Amino acid sequence: MSFDYDLVILGAGVGGHGAALHAVSVGLKTAIVEASDMGGTCVNRGCIPSKALLAAAGRVRELRQASHWQALGIQLGAVNVDRAGVAAHADQLVQKIRGDLTNSLKRLGVDILIGRGKVAGSQKVSIHTPNGEKTVTAKDIIIATGSVPWVPPGIEVDGKTVYTSDEAIKLDWLPQWVAIIGSGYIGLEFADIYTALGCEVTMIEALDQLMPTFDPDIAKQAQRVLIAPRDIETYSGKLAKRVIPGTPVVIELADTQTKEVVEVLEVDACLVATGRIPATEDLGLDSVGVSLDRRGFIPVDDYLAVTREGEPVPHLWAIGDATGKMMLAHAASAQGIAVVESIVGRPYSVDYRSIPAAAFTHPEMSFVGLTEPQARDLGEKEGFEVKVVRTYFKGNSKALAEGETDGLAKVIFRADTGELLGAHIFGLHASDLIQEAANAIRDRQSVSHLAFNVHTHPTLSEVLDEAFKRAHEMMSHP
């Protein structure tokens, strides 16, 4: 049977883009279908514009720290913020990255099909285009439709006074007092942006502790540095039961156990940063007998083949946020590459433990692998002891020279083999420093091996170097 394409990808986000580039490199005739903006969430409404805002906000925060500059022998005058200019910086970056992504696909000969695509049967895709319905056939199909912000019941979003990160990245205005619901990556990054630009923030977390997904030591240090000294009020163990847009925005806070309203807040704006849900509705999966799981994710096996009652559906794959495996842009890209490898007969599965993540606050947070509680649970289950080492930026020569000594690195490893299980960093350039640990976890290296790596002096990388050396000493002298 002949096909229009070897591979059709539904969704031109980072995952779909990565899959397309790799597909072309191995000789597959490829098309990518996109209903909205090329680049998906990451480029248009997520990673890229938020980092542009964080870069500007970080400069403002730094320039306003007079004591920091005085310690370096520098005196600065007043710092003023042009909100529209900051927003324009983010928008221009989005346009550039989106253009670069689109041009890279065109240059390599990938057909870009504009419209909403859905599975229309085995090895068939229908596309609702501005000019009507179009059907194409493909030997293999990858679904890479991503995710959208999740808005809990009881919260009314108007896109102006109550909004998600999709609207927040436009920075249309700077509310004097903004509530942020959620203390994950998105909430923390926007709290960093808003406070740097002069806003008051109230952070609301339904769970009993802030930053519940982070390693406890990192969360504790981050709260001391990112929250306590800043104009941030916090509520934990409180549910935003109702949020009503307007002037002011009314927020009913309820006890998470009893669901009884215990306090009512009135603020200028409210950012809903409660996570994301898969964009998997109306994808035509029923045409091949596939049902979404109870959370709306597409079921896949270890090689990301879409499954039907536990068995892989031939020539149908899914990657990225739509699978719920790891909702990160670079994870989606890795999955896309893995799927293409499987398509060409080199089956490859993604090692999720070795994929790092970061929050681009000031200072940054990053981690890879297991948290300490996760590692101890695994050790109890599999019968090994877990050891932990912590080192601090305040003892690092480069951090001292920069006057940026807040932070720590935490290394988690097996006491018997020394295998590195997790690494967590809070501090200057944490997002860059974590890669060494990610590569080590991918190769299942031991801390004893890592302790003999040579790091440039004086650099921040020596924070991890010191941790690995201390861990090796613990292995040598238990």
Indicate the annotated binding residues for NAD(+): 182-189, 205, 275
- The reply to whether 457 belongs to the active site is yes
Cβ neighbors of 107 (< 8 A, separation 6 or more) are: none
Among 386, 387, 385, 433, CA closest to 408? 433
Q: Which of 89, 424, 457, 472 is catalytic?
A: 457
Print burial letters for 189-219: b (CB count within 10 Å at least 16), e (below 16): bbbbbbbbbebbbbbbbbeeebbeebbebbb
Residues 330, 461: Cα–Cα separation, whole Å: 22
Distances in Å between the Cα of 187 and the Cα atoms of 226, 234, 320, 442 are: 12, 12, 21, 29
- Binding-site residues from annotation for FAD: 51, 117, 145-147, 321, 327-330
> Tokens standing for 437?
């640990």
Residues 48, 40: Cα–Cα separation, whole Å: 11
Positive or negative: CA dihedral 248, 254, 260, 263 = negative
Q: How big is the CA angle at 453 (ends 448 and 454), to the nearest 5 degrees?
A: 145
User: By the 8 A CB rule, do 69 and 76 touch?
Assistant: yes
> Tokens standing for 392?
């601090």
Residues 165, 182: Cα–Cα separation, whole Å: 12
Among 80, 89, 26, CA closest to 56? 89
Positive or negative: CA dihedral 371, 374, 380, 384 = negative
